Structure 1
Amino acid sequence: MILVKFVGGAKKSFITDQVQIDKSDIPLQDLIDLILQLKPENTPILDVENILIAINGIDSSAIDGKSTIIKNNDLVSIIPIIHGGSSKRLVFDISNKLIQAIEFKGEKDMDVKYIDVLRKQFPKVKLQAISSNFILNKSHLRKIISLSVNSDKNNTLLSNKFEIDILMRFAISSQISFAINSAGIKSKQNFILIALGSKKNLDKLYDELKYQSVNVFEIDNTLFIKKYFNITNKQLDTILSDDPLVDLLVEKAAILF
């Protein structure tokens, strides 16, 4: 038997603070699927992409992520990262790496030097700032970062730095200088700060920056992206996908070399 505890907003989705699952020795992903089947109708959706899952008090991302085997008598805690429905912070894991994204309204003093200061302040966190114009939505964000994470794992990064690889893929350019000039942070322009690190360090980073942040993806950048990359509706109509623009952008980013 597995005991699942719901913390914060997760309680509203299940109208209880805990459930017992009569299973054992199953992957965490299977447990998540079982939990979602138990959710009552007409209750708030549980965003499984924005939760932390602790197993006996240990963050699952520090074990084997969603492949972690949940054993008999384990205590699994479901903890929403975005409490109260805030959309100022996105947190998700990719291949056991925890990623955080925060959007900022561009200010005069927010440029490359600003990011360099943050890197010195948070040396254990990998940081990259991308112009908000070049990120379409959460799916686009996640899929591009997945490309960089997998490239890092396979030693096939476009650059010798993970952070630069991310920038190049959002810019869809194999030239670092071009990627920086096009999709990099610029004074007075909105940008999204992408951070990779431990939960503890990402929480510290967010606490430092949350009052400067704005809601993520409030502005629809579809027209800008289509125009910038010369993408036509005719091209998109040939793609069998729920989000053809995202898939086309990711495909272009995946074949850079």
Structure 2
Amino acid sequence: MITVKLLGGAKKAFGLEKFEIDLDNVTLSKLIDYLLSVKPADTLELDTKNILIAVNGADSSALKGPNTVLHSGDVVSIIPVIHGGGRLCFKVDSKNAELFCIKNQKGKNYDFLTLLRKKFPALVMEGVSPKTITGILHAKKILAQTIYAKKHHLLLAKKTETDILLRFAATTQISGAINAVGIEKFDEFVIIALGNKSALDKIHNHL
């Protein structure tokens, strides 16, 4: 049996949080094809081009992507990260957070992020490569570490957003973090936003 966990909009697409499939020795792409074939017709669409998939907690893109071979006992987590459909919102230590997938900035990813920070100063925002986040629990864990560090004056950098970047990269060197998980060399990236709900609603509507 392969266990499939669904988060965010994926859960709404299937009406379930988790289910088991009697498959073994199949590729991830075959599993996705199977899931689409059994998805209820009257639910939200699942945009397979805008999802993060983790296999046993590891980002599938760091494995063999759609060619990753799955076996009985594996746990596959599916997390939509695109705005406009089901929003990927969650709470960390009573604080609100949300993930946004950003595309097509034509090599101007950092400029785009800088403009967003100026437009929405109430939010703490950092951008990371899409292959960096293995799932919502991963994002929660990193943000929880940053929130704790800020509360106890233990941030790895002067700015909270830089601390988030460093923790995702598992380093204390900013240059190393930028090289490892930075956003400039990718066609799309994920923004992690932390703040109050009204500010998150505003940036969601803006994006």
**TM-score range, shorter-chain basis?**
0.5 to 0.7
CA separation in 2, counterparts of 1:84 and 1:98? 24
Match of 2:158 among 157, 160, 164: 160
Q: C-alpha offsets along residues 47-68 of structure 1, whole Å, 9 cap, x if unaligned?
A: 9xxxxxxxxxxxxxxxxxxxxx
User: What's the C-alpha RMSD, in Å, of the aligned pairs?
Assistant: 2.5
Partner residue of 1:133 out of 131, 134, 139? 131
Q: What fraction of aligned residue pairs are identical, expressed as a percent?
A: 34
Structure 2 length as normaliser, TM-score? 0.58
CA–CA separation in structure 2 for the residues paired with 1:167 and 1:187:
16
Give the greater-gyration-radius structure (CA): 1
Report the structure, 1 or 2, having the larger strand content.
Answer: 2
Match of 1:174 in 2: 172
Q: Partner residue of 1:183?
A: 181
Question: Which runs of no fewer than 5 residues in structure 1 stay unpaired?
Answer: 1-12, 14-42, 48-82, 210-257
The offset of 1:109, in angstroms, is 4.0
Cα separation, 2, equivalents of 1:152 and 1:92: 19
Q: Which residue of 1 aligns with 2:33?
A: none
Counterpart in the other structure of 1:74: none
- Which residue identity is paired with 1:142? K
- The corresponding residue for 2:122 is 124
Report SS of the residue matched to 2:199.
helix
Contact 2:129 2:186 in 1 (8 A): no
Letter in 2 for 1:44: G
For the structure 1 residues 110 and 206, does the alpha-carbon distance in structure 2 shift closer, same or farther, using more than 3 Å as the test?
Answer: farther
Match of 1:6 in 2: none
Distance 2:16 2:172 in 1: 40
Q: RCO greater where, 1 or 2, for CA within 8 Å and sep 6 or more?
A: 2
Q: Which amino acid aligns with 1:165?
A: D
User: 3-state SS of the aligned residue for 1:134?
Assistant: coil
Asked whether 1:44 is paired with 2:15, we answer yes
Q: 1:197 aligns with which of 188, 195, 203?
A: 195
Instruction: List aligned pairs for 1:13-24, cutoff 5 A.
Output: none
Cα deviation digits, residues 16-75 of structure 1 (max 9, x gap):
xxxxxxxxxxxxxxxxxxxxxxxxxxx93479xxxxxxxxxxxxxxxxxxxxxxxxxxxx
User: For 1:190 and 1:125, how far apart are their aligned partners in 2?
Assistant: 21
Find the aligned partners of 2:104 and 2:135 in 1 and give their Cα distance: 18
Contact 1:107 1:188 in 2 (8 A): no
Bigger fraction of residues in helix: 1
Report if aligned partners of 1:107, 1:187 keep a CA contact under 8 Å in 2.
no
- Measured after TM superposition, the shift of residue 190 of structure 1 is 2.2
3-state SS of paired residue (1:194): strand
- Going from structure 1 to structure 2, the CA distance change for 1:170 and 1:206 (only over 3 Å counts) comes to same
Deviation at 1:187, TM superposition (A): 4.3
Return the letter of the residue paired with 1:158. Answer: L
Aligned residues: 133
Q: CA deviation at 1:118?
A: 0.6
- Cα deviation per residue 1:93-134 (whole Å; 9 max; x = unaligned)? 111111111112353143211111111111111110011121
SS at match of 2:162: helix
SS in 1 for 2:183: coil
Of 142, 148, 151, the residue aligned with 2:149 is 151
TM-score, normalised with respect to structure 1: 0.47
Superposition deviation, residue 166 in structure 1: 0.7
